[in-house]
Amino acid sequence: GAGVSQSPSNKVTEKGKDVELRCDPISGHTALYWYRQSLGQGLEFLIYFQGNSAPDKSGLPSDRFSAERTGGSVSTLTIQRTQQEDSAVYLCASSLAGGTGNSYTFGSGTRLTVV
């Protein structure tokens, strides 16, 4: 597609519920990243996918967070048993390849509110 598409744009969920956030990267981009942006804060790295390699999950804050990328394209970030501190904007980005020298193209994010 023309850009990185994320859905939903907004999600309000009750504490304890599971949520799924979707990211459609730019066609042909082999690298995909998830970041979290809390109010007034910078971007916190969550997870990185590169081609068929095992993902870098080093940024996931707890085992309630998981992500997958099917067919090297669409990615889903799942948060189980949501907590209020999970409220944030979840940003997805893609790039032509991983590694130094490739800037990301970001989606507009999913604003998650846990009530």
Burial 83-95 (b: 16+ CB within 10 A, else e): eeebbbbbbbbbb
Q: Contact between 21 and another protein (CB under 8 A)?
A: no
Interface of this chain with another protein, residues 48 to 87, rule: CB under 8 A: 48, 50, 56, 59
What is the sign of the dihedral through the CA atoms of 92, 97, 101 and 103? negative
Of 15, 45, 68, 83, the one binding another protein (CB under 8 A) is: 45
Which part of the chain contacts another protein (CB under 8 A), choosing from 13-21, 38-46, 66-74, 78-86? 38-46
Return the amino acid letter for 38. S
Q: Contact between 1 and another protein (CB under 8 A)?
A: no
| Separation of alpha carbons 105 and 115, rounded Å | 30
Contact positions toward another protein, by CB under 8 A? 4, 31, 33, 35, 40-43, 45, 48, 50, 56, 59, 91, 93, 98-101, 103-109
